[in-house]
Amino acid sequence: MSRRLERSVLSATLFANAKAKRLAIRLTRWTGKSREYVHPKHLLGDTSEHYWYLEHLAPGATLLDVGCGNGMHTLKAARRCVDVAGVDADLASLGVGLRTAQRLGMTNVAFVAANVEEGLPIAPARFDMVLCLDLLEHVHKRDLVLTEIRRVLKPAGVLLLAVPNRATAWKRRLERADLPFYSDPDHKIEYTLDELRVELDRNGFAIRSLHPSVYDMPLVGLIDIVGGISLALYRRLTTVRRRLARRYPQDDAGFFVVCDAR
């Protein structure tokens, strides 16, 4: 395959994946799987098999979800923790989380509107745990955000963090073709594991353990659409991708990290 043809095929794949992701989010509502427009990954069920952080949540813990978006992870955490809050700048997304919490009768959840790059409107040492999933790559002031997370955590607090891996084979192939290789055009950064360790250490955190994400591959958009149509099949495909990520950790789509505050 010529370089020009390869670049055209890869570019078309990127375009199709972006469109497919948006379609999958709509399909979950159109097909009655959700009352809100959400990605099918949020509908897999509250088990540690599908949500790696759940096994780390203690029943008596207090937790803050930083960059909570529509609150899907906040609400999952609230089923295990005694007191949970979510903070995000997107009022529309927070509205989804609030409506869902009210519909489910969850009284141990609060949502706060705030720009995390301007600090967290939270008292120091307020929470046992902080959940920060798929946020750091979207912000410029990452040191400020991590410093604020460290501030609101208790001395022996735990940060549960998810960020994307930029060094997978699929992304390296896109980079060689001089195409956008970040998994989202809004990302300001994606990490290697060494870069992530340095950033965390600089802001008062040490990595305790890593969990597998899912195998990075070209046809993620197609898998997303499958999820919008059939959650059972999407669940099986996700399980396969997770097994592949364990076998080929260099091609894990992201880093799921348990961090101890220092």
Residue 39 CB-density burial (10 A; 0-12 exposed, 13-18 middle, 19+ buried): middle
Residues of the chain above pLDDT 90, percent? 90
Q: How far is CA 256 from CA 60, 75, 177, 196, 224, in A?
A: 23, 19, 28, 11, 20
Q: How far apart are CA 37 and CA 24, in angstroms?
A: 9
Residues whose CB falls within 8 Å of the CB of residue 242, separated by 6 or more in sequence, listed in order: 212, 213, 214, 215
Q: What is the mean pLDDT of residues 167-196?
A: 95
- Beta strand residue intervals within the chain, DSSP E: 62-66, 83-88, 109-113, 127-133, 153-164, 205-211, 254-261
Write down the pTM of the prediction.
0.89
Residue type (1 letter), 22: R
Which pLDDT value is given to residue 166? 96
In tens, the pLDDT along 125-170 reads 999 999 999 999 999 999 999 999 999 999 999 999 999 999 999 9
Mean pLDDT of the chain: 95
Fold of 3-261: Rossmann fold (3.40.50)
With beta carbons less than 8 A apart as the criterion, state whether 180 and 174 touch.
Answer: yes
Which residues in 153-180 are b (16+ Cβ under 10 Å) and which e?
A: beeebbbbbbbbbbbbebbeebeebeee
Element (H, E) at 34: none
In tens, the pLDDT along 75-87 reads 999 999 999 999 9
What residue ranges do the domains of the chain occupy? 3-261
* Confidence category of residue 92, pLDDT binned at 50, 70, 90: very high
